[in-house]
Amino acid sequence: MNEEQLTAVLHEQGPALVVAGPGSGKTRVLTHRVAWLLSQDVRPDSIMLVTFTKKAAQEMISRVQQLSYRGAAVVAGTFHHIAYIFLRRYVSSLPDLYSKSFTIIDQGDQEKLFKLVIQSLIDQEDRRLIPKPKDFVRIVSYMHSTQMSLLDVVREEFPNYIRQMDRINSVVNGYKERKIQGNMMDFSDLLTYFLILLRDTSAGIEIKNQIDHVLVDEYQDVNALQEKIIRELSGTCKSLMVVGDDAQSIYSFRGGSAEFMLDFEDQYQSVTKYFLTKNYRSRPSILRLVNASIEYNEEQIEKQLESLRPEGDLPIVTVTSNSREQAAYVISKIQEYNESGIPFDEIAILYRARWNSLEFEKACVNSGIRYDIRGGIRFFERSHIKDVTALVTIFVNPREILQWNRILSMLSGVGEITASKIVQKIQSKSNPLTAFLTLGRNDFSSMSISSIAISSIISLQRLFTELAELDENHSGLTQINPMRFLSLCLEFLEPIHQMKFPDEDEFRERWNDVREFMSFSDRYDSLDNLLADILTMVNISTRTSKLDDKDRPIVLSTVHQAKGLEWQVVFVTWLNQGVFPHSMSLAEDNLEEERRLFYVACTRAKDFLHLTFSEYARSWQNSEGVSQFIEEIMDENVFQIFGNDIW
């Protein structure tokens, strides 16, 4: 251990704040501190080590056991795991009637339970006025994590439903009652009831008397509920050590907040502060860039990262003409790095938003490079993109029954049964598309289709008629200009997707994917060619790759999904103002978190860092030139420029 690490490990008592930069060995500090406490004859079950992921907990306990045979008895795990341990032991102390055999329901089960509650409490014609089950899950989770009232959560996150508060209250209360009746808890309940145990019961006194030393990892990401739990546990303990990096606080969208770390010295008395600034991961040239960038944040704990590795190449800022050129450049550099001996799985392409992946996926397929989408699915496998692809498929191959079912089932008032009736009516015809267009109200009535469904089906017929009229020269439907075709499809799908994804942020993110699909289509001269390429990207087998089977794929990832990981080579892409930083964050005055996100992205790189920018961006992307994160550090001599000189 270096001197910084050892000083923190030997902390004696009271609250301690360990400000740990990326790659500075915070895991080593936490595990060695636990081992040191055990060497001081501290009881293992009086030590609580709290992590944010199960994987991190397992890794830390494994390391502790290597350092001390007593490590297995330490109380360690995620917030939820630790809450579960004590709730199982003391659940009879809760004010609500739970037994020790209570079960935990996941998100899928939560949605099913909300669906049952809605069906029992809300009239069928009124159900469209309230959030869907999955949105109720988000509302309840956010309410618990932020400790906001239900009214405030709806007002802030789902304002379109504010007039339905009576119904929403009824559903949320019914959901809680059903859980108690069924002896079930969701993940938010685990933390909420654990806090109740600690605060309001004799069991809480027992728990707090047991725990003498509390250690918390990734403290910059705690939410309000988790912070209250930490405060209760630390009230009587001998030492509290929280470890984190305020510059890596990037999860406000799920309730996490850097404010608890920034205000730690004001909230706790006699705090000892330690800094871990010696970086074992990145080259000095990379750290000079991130140090220069993060200085622009006003709300931060000031520190300077210092690399313990040899000097390396300056990060490269590459200016490309458009998104296709950007992807081509990145792929060509990846091939160069691989030919020089760097494995493909030591290379990552990072971006701010999911829609940014499309051009890179296309370039990977064209180059025979295997890739993994971290924490997500490939572009053309996303459900909202499949909706668009289904419309294209029907025009290219009207006999494709699965796509007919998909399109019809998404219409208002049309369920799977109604969709099946229509498909059965048209599938035996020589051209099902023509047969569908000739269906009239008498046909619909004979199939016992509701008036709401009929109106929706007629609107789809109008769309197909408009699409067919694009073939002005009668040269064949597949020769229709794809971008004009998709433009009409998007007009039709937008209100459907707004209903399907009522949360404004979720809809916007998915709709950006859809608009990127439309822009992507502009390079094709026919629907045939567009669909052929889509199917190639969806169905391509990794066995056809030019890589040997022993080689792992490169990683494509949003920055959020890349946190905690590292690669020899990192490309941080789409550094356009309005893309990264994101236009919505700029509008919501959340620039500092966007800069922290840039900091996280760059500090994933060990040896080589590339920052790329596309001069031409789609009009819908709200791009206003190069990212300010690049312009801010232009005069710091922390990068070199390759490509067009835009300054």
CATH number at residue 556: 3.40.50.300
pLDDT value, residue 509: 86
pLDDT value, residue 589: 81
For residue 520, pLDDT over 90 is answered with no
Q: Are residues 44 and 66 in the same domain?
A: yes
* Domain end marker among 276, 298, 326: 276
If residue 488 lies in a helix (H) or strand (E), which one and from where to where? helix 482-500
Neighbours of 300 (CB within 10 A): 21
If residue 61 lies in a helix (H) or strand (E), which one and from where to where? helix 54-67
If residue 641 lies in a helix (H) or strand (E), which one and from where to where? strand 640-643
For residue 620, pLDDT over 60 is answered with no
CA distance 637 to 314: 9
Tens digit of each residue's pLDDT (9 = 90 or more) over 116-126: 999 999 998 89
Is residue 581 assigned to a domain?
yes
Is residue 315 assigned to a domain?
yes
Q: Are residues 532 and 417 in the same domain?
A: yes
**Residue found by looking up tokens 């490509």 in the block:** 643
Task: Give the distance, in angstroms, between the CA of residue 414 and the centroid of all CA atoms in the same chain.
Answer: 31
Is residue 360 assigned to a domain?
yes
CA distance 156 to 450: 36
pLDDT value, residue 122: 94
Tens digit of each residue's pLDDT (9 = 90 or more) over 132-164: 999 999 999 999 999 999 999 999 888 889 999
Query: What distances in angstroms separate CA 437 from CA 104, 206, 432, 465, one per listed residue?
Result: 49, 72, 9, 8
Q: Are residues 272 and 299 in the same domain?
A: no
The one-character DSSP state at 295 is: T
Residue 17: strand, helix, or coil: strand
For residue 645, pLDDT over 80 is answered with no
Name 546's Cβ contacts closer than 8 Å, sequence gap at least 6: 367, 368, 369
Neighbours of 589 (CB within 10 A): 7
Tens digit of each residue's pLDDT (9 = 90 or more) over 277-293: 999 999 999 999 999 99
pLDDT value, residue 549: 45
For residue 199, pLDDT over 60 is answered with yes
CA distance 354 to 470: 31
Q: Are residues 325 and 371 in the same domain?
A: yes
Is residue 192 assigned to a domain?
no
Q: Which two tokens stand for residue 435?
A: 């047969």
pLDDT value, residue 196: 95
Residue 556: strand, helix, or coil: strand
For the chain, what percent of residues have pLDDT higher than 90?
A: 66
For residue 295, pLDDT over 70 is answered with yes
Task: Give the distance, in angstroms, between the CA of residue 525 and the centroid of all CA atoms in the same chain.
Answer: 35
CA distance 13 to 464: 72
pLDDT greater at residue 369 or residue 503: 369
Neighbours of 25 (CB within 10 A): 21
Burial class (CB in 10 A: 0-12, 13-18, 19+), 119: exposed
Q: Are residues 370 and 384 in the same domain?
A: no
The one-character DSSP state at 553 is: P
Mean pLDDT of 151-180: 94
CA distance 501 to 497: 6
Residue 564: strand, helix, or coil: coil
Question: 296 and 247 in contact (C-beta within 8 Å)?
Answer: no
pLDDT value, residue 55: 84
| Number of domain units in the chain | 4
pLDDT value, residue 547: 44
Q: Are residues 241 and 298 in the same domain?
A: no
Q: Are residues 371 and 491 in the same domain?
A: no
Q: Are residues 485 and 409 in the same domain?
A: yes
Torsion angle of alpha carbons 394, 400, 406, 412, nearest 10°? 60
Is residue 558 assigned to a domain?
yes
For residue 471, pLDDT over 80 is answered with no
Is residue 189 assigned to a domain?
no
Write phi, then psi, for 29 (nearest 5 degrees): -65, -45
Residue 355's Cβ-side half-sphere holds a number of Cα atoms within 13 Å equal to: 25
Nearest to 593 by CA among 246, 119, 199: 246
Q: Place 360 in a pLDDT band, splitting at 50, 70 and 90.
A: very high
pLDDT value, residue 202: 92
Mean pLDDT of 203-210: 94
| Mean per-residue pLDDT of the chain | 90
β pairing state of 605-614 and 316-320 = parallel
- Label residues 404-420 b or e (16+ Cβ within 10 Å = b): bbbbbebbeebeeebbe
CATH number at residue 445: 1.10.486.10
For the chain, what percent of residues have pLDDT higher than 70?
A: 95
Is residue 542 assigned to a domain?
no
Is residue 526 assigned to a domain?
yes
For residue 574, pLDDT over 90 is answered with yes
CA distance 40 to 365: 57
Tens digit of each residue's pLDDT (9 = 90 or more) over 433-454: 999 999 998 888 889 888 889 9
Q: Which two tokens stand for residue 539?
A: 């169905």
Residue 580: strand, helix, or coil: coil
* Domain end marker among 182, 215, 240: 182
pLDDT value, residue 508: 86
β pairing state of 47-51 and 567-572 = unpaired
End-to-end CA distance of the chain: 45
Mean pLDDT of 88-99: 89
* Strand order across the beta sheet in which 347-351 lies: 371-373, 554-558, 347-351, 567-572, 605-614, 316-320, 640-643
**Residue found by looking up tokens 């109380």 in the block:** 75
**Residue found by looking up tokens 């709806």 in the block:** 154
pLDDT greater at residue 34 or residue 529: 34
pLDDT value, residue 541: 39
Greatest CA separation found in the chain?
87
* Domain end marker among 147, 182, 217: 182
Question: 278 and 306 in contact (C-beta within 8 Å)?
Answer: yes
Q: Are residues 398 and 524 in the same domain?
A: yes
Q: Are residues 556 and 599 in the same domain?
A: yes
pLDDT value, residue 503: 76
CA distance 378 to 372: 8
Q: What is the domain range of residue 398?
A: 380-536
Tens digit of each residue's pLDDT (9 = 90 or more) over 296-334: 999 999 999 999 999 999 999 999 999 999 999 999 999
**Residue found by looking up tokens 């099913």 in the block:** 112
Nearest to 226 by CA among 202, 190, 200: 190
Write phi, then psi, for 319 (nearest 5 degrees): -100, 120
Nearest to 589 by CA among 173, 157, 298, 218: 298
Write phi, then psi, for 526 (nearest 5 degrees): -155, 155
Question: 35 and 66 in contact (C-beta within 8 Å)?
Answer: no
Name 462's Cβ contacts closer than 8 Å, sequence gap at least 6: none
Q: Are residues 216 and 78 in the same domain?
A: yes
CA distance 26 to 49: 13
Least confident of 229-243, 375-389, 559-573, 591-605: 375-389
pLDDT value, residue 117: 96
Q: Are residues 59 and 203 in the same domain?
A: yes
The one-character DSSP state at 467 is: H
Question: 574 and 327 in contact (C-beta within 8 Å)?
Answer: no
For residue 54, pLDDT over 60 is answered with yes
**Residue found by looking up tokens 């406000």 in the block:** 252
Q: Place 396 in a pLDDT band, splitting at 50, 70 and 90.
A: confident
Strand partners, 272: 16
Omega before 581 cis (within 30°)?
A: yes
